[in-house]
């Protein structure tokens, strides 16, 4: 099993108040699975992705990836995990405004210590794959919302991670571009056995996944194969 989640709980503290974002989530995800994660705003979808990605730590419960427990990793092992195993498409992109889109896409490769020539070549290939091969030297503020989203996707895929966590990757795209991105995701899923967990509000995207998991108020309410 690629990812094993048991009794995962996340509480955010705000002063004296506690917000229960996840309330006991257990889940097994096999290698090469394509999972759609759905549920209303505030149901805990982004929180779950952040915990799987090692960007935040749970209040209780465990996550095992490749049989290793994230909570037991030392700092260095954890950053290796984040840099090599995980690709993230964030809900709000987080592109660096002063870097060109090619440089933005190279960031994961810098963390891996790849050389400049290799980085430029792989960023170019990743940007070509999302249809932006002609815009390598533009800055993010010279792009449309959908184009920025595609840069974020190229950045998540450029280092060929084992697991891609994508928070509404097609949210700002028209249907045709969204389909092209989904085709790219399916290709990587097939060819490289990349595991995808995709948060989506789009039933058309969810229909292309192997499995849909629905969260409501921090709990899994339905999963269907």
Binding site for Mg ion (CB under 5 A): 46
Of the candidates 97, 98, 122, the one whose C-alpha atom is nearest the C-alpha of residue 108 is 122
Interacting stretch for ligand ATP, rule CB under 6 A, among 27-35, 43-51, 109-117, 206-214? 43-51
Q: Is 47 among the residues that bind ligand ATP (CB under 6 A)?
A: yes
Interacting stretch for ligand ATP, rule CB under 6 A, among 37-45, 119-127, 150-158, 169-177? 37-45
Near ligand ATP in 65-104, by CB under 6 A? 91
Q: Which residue lies nearer to ligand ATP by CB, 178 or 218?
A: 218
Joined tokens for residue 68: 């290793």
For ligand ATP (CB under 6 A), the number of binding residues is 13
Q: Is 170 among the residues that bind ligand ATP (CB under 6 A)?
A: no
Q: Is 14 among the residues that bind ligand ATP (CB under 6 A)?
A: yes
Of the candidates 34, 28, 33, 24, the one whose C-alpha atom is nearest the C-alpha of residue 216 is 24
Q: Which residue lies nearer to ligand ATP by CB, 48 or 129?
A: 48
Residue with tokens 């990349």: 194
CA distance 164 to 49: 10
Please report, for residues 7, 76, 133, the alpha-carbon distance to residue 217 in angstroms, rounded to integers and kept in the order given: 15, 33, 41
Q: Which residue lies nearer to ligand ATP by CB, 10 or 82?
A: 10
1 binds, among ligand ATP, Mg ion, none (CB under 5 to 8 A by kind): none
Helix (H) or strand (E) run with residue 198 in it? strand 195-199
CB neighbourhood size of 97 (10 A): 8
CB of residue 160 vs ligand ATP: minimum separation in angstroms? 26
Q: Is 16 among the residues that bind ligand ATP (CB under 6 A)?
A: no
CB 31, CB 199: distance < 8 Å: no
What 3-state class would DSSP assign to 19?
A: strand
Interaction site with ligand ATP (CB under 6 A): 12, 14, 19, 21, 39, 41-47, 91
């Amino acid at each position: 099993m690629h990812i094993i989640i048991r009794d995962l709980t996340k509480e955010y503290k705000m002063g004296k108040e506690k917000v229960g974002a996840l309330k006991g989530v257990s889940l097994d995800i096999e290698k090469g699975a394509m999972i759609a994660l759905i549920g209303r705003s505030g149901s805990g979808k982004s929180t779950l992705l952040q915990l799987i990605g090692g960007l935040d730590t749970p209040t209780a419960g465990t996550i095992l990836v490749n049989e290793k427990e994230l909570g037991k990793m030392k700092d260095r092992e954890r950053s290796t995990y984040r840099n090599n195993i995980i690709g993230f498409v964030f809900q709000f992109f987080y592109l660096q405004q002063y870097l060109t889109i090619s440089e933005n896409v190279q960031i994961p490769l810098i963390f891996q210590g790849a050389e400049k020539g290799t980085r430029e070549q792989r960023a170019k290939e990743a940007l070509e794959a999302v249809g932006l091969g002609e815009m390598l030297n533009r800055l993010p503020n010279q792009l449309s919302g959908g184009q920025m989203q595609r840069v974020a996707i190229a950045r998540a895929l450029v280092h060929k991670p084992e697991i891609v966590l994508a928070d509404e990757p097609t949210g700002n795209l028209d249907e045709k571009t969204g389909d092209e991105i989904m085709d790219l995701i399916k290709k990587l899923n097939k060819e490289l056995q990349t595991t995808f967990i995709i948060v989506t509000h789009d039933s058309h995207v969810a229909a292309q996944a192997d499995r849909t998991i629905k969260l409501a108020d921090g709990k899994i309410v339905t999963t269907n194969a």
